[in-house]
Amino acid sequence: MKILVLNSGSSSLKFKLYTMPQKELLVQGLIERIGEESSQIHLSLEGTVRESSETIRDHRHALEILEKALPRFGILSSFEELGGVGHRVVHGGEAFTSPTIIDAAVRSTIEALIPLAPLHNPANLMGIDAFAALAPKVPQVAVFDTAFHQSMPSEAYRYAVPESWYREHQVRRYGFHGTSHFYVSRELARLKNSPQERLNCITLHLGNGASICAVRGGKSIETSMGLTPLEGLVMGTRSGDIDPGVHYYIHRTTGKSPKEIDEILNRQSGLKGIAGSNDMREIQRRMEQGNESAKLAFDLFIHRLRKYVGAYAVLLGRLDALVFTGGIGEHSAPVRQALCDGLAVLGIGLDSTANDAARTDARPIHAADSRSELWVIPTDEEGVIAEESYRLVADRRKDSPSLTPLA
């Protein structure tokens, strides 16, 4: 069965097409600058990349172009041939604790959650609606970034703010990157050949956005992102934790509006705010040349991360492993080294040779006498979305073969 995975942004559409259950990747690509004069199309299959540009009006138009392009590669003659399509949906609020087939009720719940994710959920819905318009019979599945963290206990997910903020406005911590934290914690159990129920680990998803998660027995018990992805670690362009009093202070002293301040904290802060670049490679390069602001950005990033690792180790009580993933987690040996240099109090020791090895596969990097294991595990969010979509679609076929999803 062929499953298409879509990650739909406000002006972009990323996709991967798989044969399931083998999880064989047939083609992947990205359509960018949708709605602008010149949209870019990148398709990559069997190691070759094809790029083109044309005007693409909207997400539906982008999908039409994709549907026309696929038969030329002999992959699919039309979307009707798909067994299902899986969407990354950013915010599932408290409504969704696991992936789900999208019917009219699910669609309207995702819509009702827009106030919690005003940029992401509308973009995700554009992808869902565009696909439904083109291939209404193909079942669609939503896989939520927040769902994995719905297992957090209330003392982890509630903020100490008036009860009414929670009851009336859903103000609580949700967490994001759930699909990635889920995947790498499951992979860890598989690679170690130990039952997930007995493993305690901390997963570090360090990309442009970054979050950390404490996973006990396969369940998230705490994570660093909150109501929005702004809370927690220092990120590429996000501040992570700051005193909430800073908002009002900056408003009073500069006259900036809450919206402007929110944008600055999301887009002009983090590594970029301190060192002018959100690219960790660039920060590392400049740091080697003695650049002070690059060093400060790197140190802030590591310091925050170390505080969280310490706190999560205490919450878990027993720490079997720490898992690095995401662009920085998978590729930056200096970040892993700097973090682990400060974890001796936990009995954690890195094997520097394994850490420095130029490898891209999943691998252990701990010293033989380390109390907890250290692993690098490349994340695969799209693979999980494909698996979950396949599972739900296959189950549904067994139950009610004739139902139409968004009818």
Where along the sequence are the contacts to ligand ADP (CB under 6 A)? Answer: 207-209, 236, 279-281, 284, 326-328, 331-332
Task: Quote the tokens at residue 366.
Answer: 């701990």
Which one, 88 or 149, has the nearer CB to ligand ADP? 88
* Shortest Å distance, C-beta 214 to ligand ADP: 20
* Shortest Å distance, C-beta 80 to ligand ADP: 31
283 touches 277 (CB < 8 A) = yes
* Shortest Å distance, C-beta 326 to ligand ADP: 4
Burial annotation 286-314 (CB, 10 A radius, 16+ → b, else e): bbeeebebbbebbebbbebbbebbeebbe
Which one, 139 or 229, has the nearer CB to ligand ADP? 229
Which one, 164 or 360, has the nearer CB to ligand ADP? 360
**End-to-end alpha-carbon separation of the chain, Å?**
22
* Shortest Å distance, C-beta 209 to ligand ADP: 5
Compute the distance between CA of residue 177 and CA of residue 211 in angstroms, rounded to an integer: 7
* Shortest Å distance, C-beta 270 to ligand ADP: 10
Q: What is the four-CA torsion angle of 265, 170, 306, 247, rounded to 10 degrees?
A: 30
Which one, 279 or 356, has the nearer CB to ligand ADP? 279
Q: Which helix (H) or strand (E) holds 14?
A: strand 13-19
Selection from 196, 6, 169, 184 nearest residue 82 by Cα? 6
Burial annotation 244-258 (CB, 10 A radius, 16+ → b, else e): eeeeeebeeeeeeee
Which one, 2 or 120, has the nearer CB to ligand ADP? 120
* Shortest Å distance, C-beta 314 to ligand ADP: 27
List CB contacts of 127: < 8 A, sequence separation 6 or more.
6, 7, 8, 13, 59, 87
* Shortest Å distance, C-beta 394 to ligand ADP: 29
**196: amino acid identity, one letter:** Q
Selection from 196, 214, 405 nearest residue 314 by Cα? 214
DSSP letters spanning 303-314? HHHHHHHHHHHH
Which one, 218 or 329, has the nearer CB to ligand ADP? 329
Which one, 100 or 278, has the nearer CB to ligand ADP? 278
**186: amino acid identity, one letter:** R
Residues with active-site annotation: 145
Compute the distance between CA of residue 20 and CA of residue 75 in angstroms, rounded to an integer: 14
* Shortest Å distance, C-beta 334 to ligand ADP: 7
Which one, 270 or 405, has the nearer CB to ligand ADP? 270
Task: Quote the tokens at residue 54.
Answer: 């044309």
Residue in the shown chain whose Cβ atom is closest to ligand ADP: 327
* Torsion sign, CA atoms 379, 383, 385, 387: negative
Compute the distance between CA of residue 225 and CA of residue 342 in angstroms, rounded to an integer: 23
